[in-house]
Chain A
Amino acid sequence: MTDVATRVRTAAVSLRGAALRFGERTLWEGLDLDVAPGEFLAVLGPNGSGKTTLLRVLLGLQPLHAGQVLIGGRPPARGSGAIGYVPQQKALAEDLPLRARDLVGLGLDGHRLGVGLRGRSVRRERVRAALESVGAGHYADAPVGRLSGGEQQRLRVAQALVGDPSVLLCDEPLLSLDLAHQQVVANLIERRRRAADTAVVFVTHEINPILPLVDRVLYLVDGRFRVGTPDEVMTSATLSTLYRTDVDVLRVRGRLVVVGADARGHDHCHPEEAT
């Protein structure tokens, strides 16, 4: 991994001089970043720092203002099979006409035209395997709207994995889950990247539930950013520089507590988490 060209070609995600602006406002610019296959990258930062927009760029939904982005050596494409996407848990209508297996199946071919009569047995088998891989096989026929938030998020992981992606993009997938289910869902994602060398880009405002899994952190604040290991980035000095104010990072029982960044609408110190 010494030659730049080789690295660009083999990286799961590669950004070169990437910039994104909204009108006058620069979300970020000059962003160089390679995510290797099997690497776990956490994207942190306050609301409005462009975390979700970064995901939109990788999904091919949002063009860069400047610079280059490659997914597995190719420009991002809408509906690309190379990418799996895990969204936030959201309440689903109780009478939504979808079973667990339908939700997962939509992740496989829901973007394709037609009614999908061909290849049904292959499809059924892939959906079954994806459901089994997240331990959701026993509620495959349950209406999704009647499942708990934790059960739904397992399905979300299966839905993202059923297409066998090389990059997994996660947008706050643990939000509004209780601690036990946060652990379950984080472990499912972790197992997948170990088993299939899938790169993970994990947007979150709370690093603690995934701290042991994270290889590197991309921390975005008001157009400034730092990339590095959690030990490099999650320090009082680095975050104080990023936030341009005094920020303290404390380690309490293996958890990180960030104090002083809350004035910016951002805080890692949730009382229920710190205990």
Chain B
Amino acid sequence: MIERLFTFTGTGELLGQGFVQSALLAAALLGLVAGVLAPLIVARGMAFAVHGTAELAFTGGAAALLAGVSVSLGAVAGAVTAGIVFGLLGLRARERDSVIGVVLAFGLGLGVLMIALYPGRAANKFGLLTGSIVAVDSTNLAVLGTVTVVVLAVLAVVYRPLLFASTDPDVAVARGVPVRLLSPLFAVLIALTTALAVPIVGAVIVLAVTVIPGAAAARVTASPVVATLLAVLFAELALVGGTVASLAPGLPVSGYVATIAFLCYLGCRLLGRQRA
């Protein structure tokens, strides 16, 4: 069993294949954008909102699968809807938590029902939950690339006020930062990223790439710049490393991605404890 999990026999050959290279490129793009968002997600205490968004992306994808339209579009629609709803709830943690819980449970239930009703191949069904990075085609790559550019461009414009609003909301309001506008805007950025991550790593472990890198970085640095760089590094390690490691065993990529991300977090916690 252990041998099956950790084998690199044939990895070299697989790396030469076009579909594998597409997968790695997708992983790298996703790692970049998720890593940049992660520290802000952690600072805003939005881990649960990201989880909820991912589940709603799953619901949207499942609905699209059943309706016979593009799964990616369905995932984006579901995630963006959830993102805007959660974003409008602002930073009041208690209310937000319960609303996310309610919406998440309902969405997940609906999604499972729609998957069960879907008459097609089982692999399509399973893919939404666990991810299937090798299924990335050139269309997916083009969309992923576009979204990466859009998310990074928007962040480049609103980064400072967003950091202000995320870490110091009271003073940000007093200084005229449109905190209430930034919340849904950031939620949409998360939703776009999440919706793209769902078909690749699966809804279940989207947190692994959008939250863990930020949480890990926060244990070892308080500098926003260093935290962002570290989070990108961890996200890339997890996504690219996880993809490579999953090639030869031919197992779902999600387990590998989540494990590497978790190890990054564990290491950072230990380092952080020494620092304190």
Contacts and interface: CB of A to CB of B under 8 A. Distances in A.
Whether chain B is bound by chain A comes out as: yes
Interface residues on B, range: 20 to 34
Interface string A141-164: 111111000000000100100000
B222 A110 contact: no
Say what secondary structure dominates the interface of chain B. Answer: helix
B156 A115 contact: yes
B158 A113 contact: yes
A96 B160 contact: no
Interface string B19-46: 0000000000000000000010011010
A55 to B, nearest CB: 8
A101 B161 CA distance: 16
A97 B218 contact: yes
B148 to A, nearest CB: 17
A270 interface: no
A93 B166 CA distance: 12
Given A78-B176, A90-B170, A113 B157 contact: yes
Given A95-B218, A144-B222, A110 B42 contact: no
Q: Which of A80, A95, A103 has the most CB of B within 10 A?
A: A95
B222 A87 contact: no
Interface string B151-177: 000001111110110011011111111
A110 B164 contact: yes
Nearest to A160: B171
Nearest to B177: A111
A87 B171 contact: yes
B96 interface: no
A116 B42 contact: no
B222 A99 contact: yes
A188 interface: no
A97 B42 contact: yes
Nearest to B224: A97
Contacts of A107: 171, 175
A159 B171 contact: yes
A88 B171 CA distance: 10
A42 B118 CA distance: 68
A81 to B, nearest CB: 10
Interface of B: 39, 42-43, 45, 156-161, 163-164, 167-168, 170-177, 215, 217-219, 221-224, 227, 276
29 contacts: A61-B174, A61-B176, A78-B175, A88-B170, A93-B43, A95-B42, A96-B43, A96-B167, A96-B222, A97-B222, A98-B168, A98-B222, A98-B224, A99-B222, A102-B223, A106-B164, A106-B167, A110-B164, A110-B177, A111-B164, A111-B177, A113-B161, A114-B156, A115-B156, A115-B159, A116-B160, A143-B222, A156-B171, A159-B171
